[in-house]
Amino acid sequence: MTYLVAADLPRESAGRRFRDLLNRPGILQLPGAHNGMAALQAKAAGFDALYLSGAAMTASMGLPDLGIITVDEVAFFVRQIVRAAGLPLLVDADTGYGEALNVMHATRVFEDAGAGALHLEDQILPKKCGHLNDKKIADAHDMAAKVAAAAKARRNLVIIARTDAAASEGLDGAVARAKLYMEAGADAIFPEALNTAEMFRAFAERMPGVPLLANMTEFGKTPFFTATEFEAMGYAMVIWPVSSLRMANKAQAELYAAISRDGGTHKVVERMQTRTELYATIGLHDYEALDSSIVQTIVPAGMPQRR
């Protein structure tokens, strides 16, 4: 049904449900969902959990991913995605929006908003996408303090520590940081911007027993690997962080170009989600059924023709 019916809501916390998924056999696949509609479509495709990317959030707001947005802005996205799909959600918490107390605040806000997991990165502000150049890396012990703060603030939330150190400190530096972050209370590690299969395998071999997350972003430093290939390399999770936004943005740009060129949408209407498909995705009739005062919507059959 819908999120309005309490009996249909999950009884376990999102954190426990995310942890249960992580403990299942096989790699946990986490497609990025940049809003509630994307979350519903990913759920319909059969995914059990989702990822909310800081890069996708900021881009959808018309902003660069430089640590500009606030905890409350992110919580708005968390709430709409969790409300729409009801799936455990991994949230990109950037650098934690400050120091230890700020990290604790973000952890509480995101968990209360319905997140199942978050990841913190060891950059300093202004932070950058992990696949860009000249990232400024935080002191490892300062980052460990943030991880410890998040672990202290969470109830059931899964804490994933991301390290961007491979580019500047090499694999040895990234592994050393990962071990320190695990000691501080992280549940899993996200080694960012590894660029060869050999690097992915080597990192996993040096972190035995630790759940690892792989980032399969497009147009970055990582070659294309499938979920099955990442699993074989020793990874427990994989994200496709901005893919949904990239596809939606490309289609949207083509729509506006068509309207400008043709004076209307008539040449691209066959590429649109139909009204019937839209209403089915958002469950319009389920909501109508909850309120007997609303007469069920009759969807027009196709596009009317000129006479």
> Choosing from 51, 97, 181, 235, which is the catalytic residue?
51
Is 119 a known active-site residue? yes
Task: Identify the three-state secondary structure at position 182.
Answer: helix
Burial class for 244, CB neighbours closer than 10 Å (0-12, 13-18, 19+): buried
Output the DSSP codes for 95-131: T-SSSHHHHHHHHHHHHHHT-SEEEEESB-SSP--TT
Query: How many whole angstroms separate alpha carbon 95 and alpha carbon 110?
Result: 14
Which residues on neighbouring strands pair with residue 137, listed in sequence order? 123
> Choosing from 111, 121, 164, 187, which is the catalytic residue?
121
Are the CB atoms for 17 and 10 separated by under 8 Å?
yes
> Choosing from 119, 131, 177, 246, which is the catalytic residue?
119
Specify the residue for token string 């139909």.
274
> Choosing from 92, 111, 122, 187, which is the catalytic residue?
92
Is 129 a known active-site residue? yes
> Choosing from 19, 34, 65, 246, which is the catalytic residue?
65
Is 162 a known active-site residue? yes
Is 277 a known active-site residue? no
> Choosing from 19, 34, 97, 215, which is the catalytic residue?
215
> Choosing from 111, 164, 187, 192, which is the catalytic residue?
192
Is 94 a known active-site residue? yes
Task: Identify the three-state secondary structure at position 244.
Answer: helix
Query: How many whole angstroms separate alpha carbon 3 and alpha carbon 6?
Result: 7
Is 102 a known active-site residue? no
Is 92 a known active-site residue? yes
Is 285 a known active-site residue? no
Is 3 a known active-site residue? no
Distances 214 to 30, 51, 140, 236 between C-alpha atoms, Å:
10, 12, 21, 8
> Choosing from 19, 34, 35, 94, which is the catalytic residue?
94
Is 97 a known active-site residue? no
> Choosing from 34, 129, 181, 235, which is the catalytic residue?
129
Catalytic residues: 51, 65, 92, 94, 119, 121, 129, 162, 192, 215
